[in-house]
Amino acid sequence: MLELPVLNNFQQPEIKSNGNGVHQTYKVGVRRKTRIVNVGGILVGGNHPISVQTMTKTKTSDVDATVKQICDAADAGCDIVRVTVNDKEAAEAMAEIVKRSPIPIVADIHFNHIFALKSIEANVAKVRLNPGNIGSKDRIKQVLDAAKAKHIPIRIGVNSGSLEEDILEKHGYPTAEALFESAMRHVGICEENNFHDIIISVKSTDVRLMIEAYRLVAQRTDIPLHLGVTEAGTTKIGTIKSAVGIGTLLAEGIGDTIRVSLTDEPVKEIEVGKEILRSLGLASRNIELIACPTCGRLEVDLFGIMAQLEEKLEGIKKPIKIAVLGCVVNGPGEASEADIGIAAGKGVAILYRKGEVIKKVREDEIVSTILEEVEKFVPEKN
């Protein structure tokens, strides 16, 4: 296994006793320093913005359907998209997909070095490949040399469900150290071939295992990290698992690009990924709608109001915080903290603009009033 030093420029965790042993408490807000990798013009690592990725779910050989899904994802804010190259037809389609894609394409390769070479020839922006899995040293060298010649990086993607047999036998079952060891094995192969343009992922369906594995890689290397909870599940469960796993690491300053894996359309993955970043202040917001959870004090049709606002404000890209509160207890204070706020009660509401009371409006005027305020809202310049 390749031994890499612990980096001095990464803020190490405090060690605190919990009475039953020792555990690590990670400090929040210090971004891990990494090398920078260029993925088709998207810079990953260093202090560059955390990019959001997804993966197409069409048959890659269906170029039109695949390109449409890519364009939809790009419209939703996707930065980088991964496309499976799992057969000859998919490999032959890559050149046209790359040509028509508005965002960088990552070729997803497993075991077949020919598909990797064809994808590199098609000018993909990155290859997702574990070099130790594609055969002989000569095949590995062919792929790494071709990628290096075109300045195409490689993402080493380790998964707890597909660890090498000898590593599993050594550790007994998937552990954080096992995931780390597997990743470093593939890194070592790359570096033996003088290839250093690398990103790593160490994913698992187990959120705690995923967090521990990424922490190990973060402490011991300067390689940028692609975060994700693999096979997270349906939209509801997958969103929760991804938010916990990815969000925990991002809050600790770990992570340079993310993908939320859902059994849903790529656009939904992007929406959840973006919201994870926004919740931590790592991405600028467009419209942010805030509403009270409601209780017995509710005196307006808040459910109907919010449904209308979500529909009518969809696609508006102004960074506006809108709060709509349905009672007079917490409403005035919380509404006054938003760019546009509504505190409602008994069929009427108070409109706030940047904390200032503007006017009273009837319940049936709330939606139209907010839309008018959004139209004339001018974001502050930084």
Residues 229-251: b if buried by 16+ CB within 10 A, e if exposed: bbbbbebeebbebbbbbbbbbbb
In terms of phi and psi (left: phi > 0; alpha: psi -120 to 50; beta: otherwise), the region of 113 is: alpha
Q: What is the CA radius of gyration of the chain?
A: 24
Q: Range with the lowest mean pLDDT among 77-86, 125-134, 232-241, 321-330?
A: 321-330
What are the backbone dihedrals phi and psi of residue 357, each rounded to the nearest 5 degrees, phi first? -70, 125
Residues 16-41: b if buried by 16+ CB within 10 A, e if exposed: eeeeeeeeeebeeeebbebbebbbbe
287 pLDDT tier (thresholds 50, 70, 90): confident
8 A C-beta contact, residue 14 and residue 27: yes
Helix %, strand %, coil % of the chain (to 5) = 40, 20, 40
Give the SS3 label for residue 269: helix
CA distance 274 to 278: 6
The pLDDT, as a whole number, for residue 269 is 96
Long-range CB contacts (< 8 A, 24+ apart) of 238-246?
238/262, 238/263, 238/264, 238/272, 239/272, 241/205, 241/207, 242/272, 242/273, 242/276, 243/272, 243/276, 243/279, 244/207, 245/207, 245/210, 245/211, 246/273, 246/276
8 A C-beta contact, residue 285 and residue 321: yes
Q: What is the DSSP letter of 225?
A: B
Torsional sign, CA 43, 47, 48, 51: positive
Residues 289-303: b if buried by 16+ CB within 10 A, e if exposed: eebbeeeeebbbbbe
Tokens standing for residue 114: 């020919």
Q: Where in the chain is the domain with CATH 3.20.20.20?
A: 14-279
The pLDDT, as a whole number, for residue 12 is 38
Give me the numbers of helices (H) and strands (E) for the chain, helices first please. 12, 17
Span 342-353, average pLDDT: 89
The pLDDT, as a whole number, for residue 196 is 96
Q: How many residues make up the chain in this entry? A: 382
8 A C-beta contact, residue 45 and residue 61: no
As to burial, measured by CB atoms within 10 angstroms (0-12 exposed, 13-18 middle, 19+ buried), residue 340 is: buried
Q: Where in the chain is the domain with CATH 3.30.413.10?
A: 287-374
Instruction: State the architecture of 287-374 in CATH terms.
Output: 2-Layer Sandwich (3.30)
The pLDDT, as a whole number, for residue 24 is 36
Q: pLDDT tens, 142-167?
A: 999 999 999 999 999 999 888 889 99
Q: pLDDT tens, 21-49?
A: 333 333 445 889 999 999 999 999 998 99
Tokens standing for residue 214: 């990424």
Total Cβ atoms within 10 A of residue 362:
11
Among candidate residues 212, 205, 218, the one with its CA nearest the CA of residue 175 = 212
CA distance 275 to 284: 10
User: Could you tell me the pTM of the whole model?
Assistant: 0.82
CATH 3.40.50.720 fits 14-279, yes or no: no
